[in-house]
Amino acid sequence: MNLFSKLTLLIFLLTSFISNATSKQEQIEIAYPGFSEPLVFNITLPSGYSKNTNKSYVMMFDFHPKSDTYLRGMHDWMSHNGEWPWLQTIIVTPAVGNRVGMLFDATGKTTPLLDFFDKKLLPEVDKKYRTNGFKIMSGFRGNGTIVLSTLINKPDMFNAYIAISPELKDNHAGIISTASKKLSKLNNKPRFLLFSHGTSFKEEHQNELYSQLHSIFQKYAPKKLDWHYKHFDSNYFMSLPLVSVIMGIEKIFDDIHQGLAPESEISQKGIEAIVQHYEYLSEEKYGFAVSPKNSINALGFFLLNASQADGLMVFKEMVKRYPEDAYSHHNLAKAYDKIGDFKKAIKHQKDAVKFSDKMLTWHKKRHRRFLEDYSSKNN
């Protein structure tokens, strides 16, 4: 085999590896009255979707065709490290040339575009793909207005909303004139909103309107709407969708990755209170199982500083609840290490190594390093 053939084969193998390791894109077509051709949407499936047939996924929708490019790349990067900080997600965007936006009523008096999303698009995605019920909607400029319109007119369509530099001038989509009344009528279902904008010449015409909308949220947003406002005053205009999505994603899934502070009111009530809180998050906020492990472990290390017995009790309870979880055994081992009982630290870290066998290589190596460290201390 000559050098050229070897290089060609290498490029092919590398391309195949990258293709298999990252996301896959498909398309769906939806026939709809008034359109002579089917409406086409891009569906980006996360890495491992075809292999992990028992797994269901978050869905994210953005109405800008070009959003597909940066959302795909950002998601692939932010989810590849154990879905931290972005849970693996099915991304839905319109294909270039999709004319369904013609349905949008800029007055806000009717909602035919939102009705299409609600009655046709989302059910079709749910029918064909393994969605888990949690849905995110993001949008920039005019599409940010559509995000806000969805929140106040059809709030149950999505669980989380990211509205970036929405167009509000001339009461676009009726947002400014109706938001206060409609927000105050939202039910107690948990929802998330990030409303962001910058300070560019493209936004000068509505800076006062942004302040007005911010005031409306401060006054009328219900307690269950976890809303956030961010003025990106030092970023370029075209960077705003990227930095806003990153910020939004981190906040949306913060309950899952960060956990409760051990000093929090819930954690101070003990393990059962933490478990009940995460049952609420699982059943009411996310609609899929959210683990209390991080919060319970944080409480354990917090208590360990004041009382060895109280701290160890928490970690022993974790092992009882999650007997095949590598990190439950690891944290018990770590607790014993902190109090100087290296023999017990070794014993439980060996269990951590055993149960990490099916985890990512990074975790396997990490648990082995801890075992080596504890073993060296016991000599």
Mark whether 179 and 296 lie in a shared domain. no
pLDDT at 12 over 90: no
pTM for the full model? 0.89
290 and 218 both lie in a single domain: no
Q: Can you list the positions of beta strands (E) in the chain?
A: 24-30, 39-45, 57-62, 89-94, 131-140, 160-164, 191-198, 225-232
Does residue 363 have a pLDDT over 50?
yes
How many distinct structural domains can be found in the chain? 2
Name residue 91's beta-bridge partners: 44, 60
The Cα 125–Cα 59 span in angstroms is 9
Domain that holds residue 166: 22-257
Count of alpha carbons within 13 angstroms of residue 335, beta-carbon side:
29
**Cross-strand partners of 7:** none
pLDDT beyond 50 at 176 = yes
Residue ending a domain, among 224, 257, 290, is 257
For residue 20, the model assigns a pLDDT of 42
Q: Is the pLDDT of residue 4 over 60?
A: no
Show the tokens assigned to 204: 């000068």
Same domain, 240 and 276: no
Q: What is the pLDDT, as a whole number, of residue 11?
A: 42
pLDDT tens for 251-296 read 999 999 999 999 999 999 999 999 999 999 999 999 999 999 999 9
13 domain residue, yes or no? no
Tell me the CATH number at 117. Answer: 3.40.50.1820
**Tens-digit pLDDT profile for residues 114-172:** 999 999 999 999 999 999 999 999 999 999 999 999 999 999 999 999 999 999 999 99
Please give the pLDDT value at position 379: 79
Q: Collect all residues with Cβ–Cβ distance below 8 Å to 211 and sequence separation of at least 6.
A: none
Is residue 38 located within the same domain as residue 172? yes
Read out DSSP for 325-340?
-HHHHHHHHHHHHHTT
* Residues 93 and 184 occupy one common structural domain: yes
pLDDT tens across 180-190, in order?
999 999 999 99
179 and 88, same structural domain? yes
Q: What is the pLDDT of residue 3?
A: 53
**2 falls within a domain:** no
Q: What percent of the chain has a predicted confidence (pLDDT) above 90?
A: 92
Mean pLDDT score of the chain? 94
**Same domain, yes or no: 272 and 143:** no
- 116-128 per-position pLDDT tens digit: 999 999 999 999 9
